[in-house]
Amino acid sequence: MAVQQAAGTDPYFPDHGDPRYRVHRYELALDYRPGPNRLSGTARINAIAGRSPLTEFVLNLGDFKIGRVRVDGRQPHYTHRGGRLRIRPGKPVRAGAAFTVEVHWSGNPKPVNSPWGGLGWEELEDGALVASQPIGAPSWYPCNDRPADKASYQISVTTPSSYAVVAGGRLLTRTTKASTTTWVYEQAAPTSSYLVGLSIGKYQTVLLGDPGLGGVPQHGHIPADLLPRFSRDFARQPAMMDLFQELFGPYPFDEYAVVVTEEELDVPVEAQGLSLFGANHVDGARGSERLVAHELAHQWFGNSVSIADWRHIWLNEGFAKYAEWLWSERSGGRSAQQLAAAAHRLLSSLPQDLRLADPGRKSMFDDRLYERGGLTLHAVRCALGDIAFFRMLRGWAGLHRGGAVTTTSFTAYVGRFAPEPLDDLFEAWVYGTALPPLPMPETRAAV
């Protein structure tokens, strides 16, 4: 596994994340009461100091009351302002040394303000969900909020027994005492803070397909009244899983869950081992099937293979967009070439001032980034030919499983599969802003 850590703070979100240390594991114990939207929690964070002694460090955490902070069992000096919990241990942590942080907090969780609206913990009419991309994780737990700092998680949530709790990972235990139930989930795979998913609601749980011997368990958690529509809209997800494992390599996690809330969501949200959809994405006519494919593909590209910082977001979204096209092509819909042509026509009518390699914070979720990212991968496919292209995709997902990558590491990796240098292709598609000509299959080189 190759892991590339960002050298410093994220240029798009310099107040999020602290590169002076990295987290190995989070153990979160939460108690949530949906009526008053009241959350109290304890976090035990196992971390490792960087190359310099750690005289202080920062965790990101929203507007909560702090009840207790300990570093290796001792009380440090700390301040909590502007979403930053700044901790100064009584004795500096030695360079490279392991240390443990314990934080107790409580309050009414609320989303983190951002240019895209509130992010993170969202109180619903009857329950809650977490949609954190890119900086919403501190809305509900203390974390080193940078995508390259990936850790394992154990999450325990206690809530009234009428509610179900769904988190990314494997359900270890579910224990009912009096009127409350405690759900404990384990996510062993390295996980970015924004990809820790959670949903609390009144759901029915269904099995999607038959995992069989060695298959991937897939479950849906749905309000009862939406189950008939869901059953049709998600019927082909097991076939998507089979296709993506063929094209991208083995599914990188233990299982996969999808949640549909009773409320509408602007867009579905990916989390590690989990995707969240709104009621508006379930119509009984497979009207959002491309989004089902998109979110599933993120489990490989974005979740398992993560980005070192947010400048490289096209490596998440461009890959998931192209997976939509591959699913369409292999399931009897329009071919990737036809969908690439449609995307090219759309982009040709829009401003051409977006650079994939560094789109800027304001444009990181621009639709043009998704479409141009998909087109870039189609251009690579046309240059490599199908055999080398899909060998490259599987190799990329396998080599960087559980790690973090950059645009430069991707272009260098692709070059290993090319019969001739692809510098001009990447200069035009990734580093330039003008829209290059539509890539055509007949330009594919023999490998």
Candidates 12, 32, 194, 370; catalytic one = 370
SS3 193: helix
Per-residue confidence at 2, pLDDT binned at 50, 70, 90? very low
Per-residue confidence at 283, pLDDT binned at 50, 70, 90? very high
Measured CA to CA, the distance from residue 421 to residue 414 in angstroms comes to 10
Per-residue confidence at 202, pLDDT binned at 50, 70, 90? very high
The percent of residues in the chain predicted with pLDDT above 70, rounded, is 97
> What would the two tokens of residue 314 be?
């096209």
366-380 pLDDT, tens digit per residue, is: 999 999 999 999 999
65-79 pLDDT, tens digit per residue, is: 999 999 999 999 999
| pLDDT of amino acid 442 | 58
Domain 1-196 identical in fold to domain 306-443: no
- Is the model's pLDDT at 445 over the cut of 50? no
Candidates 186, 270, 289, 295; catalytic one = 295
Per-residue confidence at 441, pLDDT binned at 50, 70, 90? confident
Task: Give the CATH fold of the 1-196 domain.
Answer: Immunoglobulin-like (2.60.40)
- Is the model's pLDDT at 45 over the cut of 50? yes
- Is the model's pLDDT at 357 over the cut of 50? yes
| pLDDT of amino acid 211 | 78
Annotated binding-site members for Zn(2+): 294, 298, 317
Of 281, 322, 275, nearest to 295 (Cα)?
275
| pLDDT of amino acid 8 | 73
Per-residue confidence at 90, pLDDT binned at 50, 70, 90? very high
Q: What is the mean pLDDT of the chain?
A: 95
Per domain, the residue ranges of the chain are 1-196, 306-443
208-222 pLDDT, tens digit per residue, is: 987 776 789 999 999
> What would the two tokens of residue 248 be?
């991208």
Q: What's the Rg (C-alpha) of the chain?
A: 22
> What would the two tokens of residue 107 be?
């309050």
- Is the model's pLDDT at 271 over the cut of 50? yes
Annotated binding-site members: 294, 298, 317
136-179 pLDDT, tens digit per residue, is: 999 999 999 999 999 999 999 999 999 999 999 999 999 999 99
Q: What are the two backbone dihedrals, phi and then psi, of residue 377, each rounded to the nearest 5 degrees?
A: -65, -35
Residue 295 designated active-site: yes
Number of C-beta neighbours around residue 203 at 10 A: 24
C-beta separation of 226 from 279 below 8 A: yes
| pLDDT of amino acid 148 | 96
Q: What are the two backbone dihedrals, phi and then psi, of residue 419, each rounded to the nearest 5 degrees?
A: -70, -15
What contacts 285, CB < 8 A, 6 or more positions away?
Answer: 232, 233
246-261 pLDDT, tens digit per residue, is: 999 999 999 999 999 9
C-beta separation of 310 from 134 below 8 A: yes
| pLDDT of amino acid 332 | 95
- Is the model's pLDDT at 5 over the cut of 90? no
Q: What is the mean pLDDT of residues 323-340?
A: 98
C-beta separation of 403 from 4 below 8 A: yes
- Is the model's pLDDT at 3 over the cut of 80? no
| pLDDT of amino acid 215 | 87
Does domain 306-443 bear CATH number 1.10.390.10? yes
> What would the two tokens of residue 41 be?
């929690």
Q: What is the mean pLDDT of residues 45-70?
A: 97
| pLDDT of amino acid 295 | 98
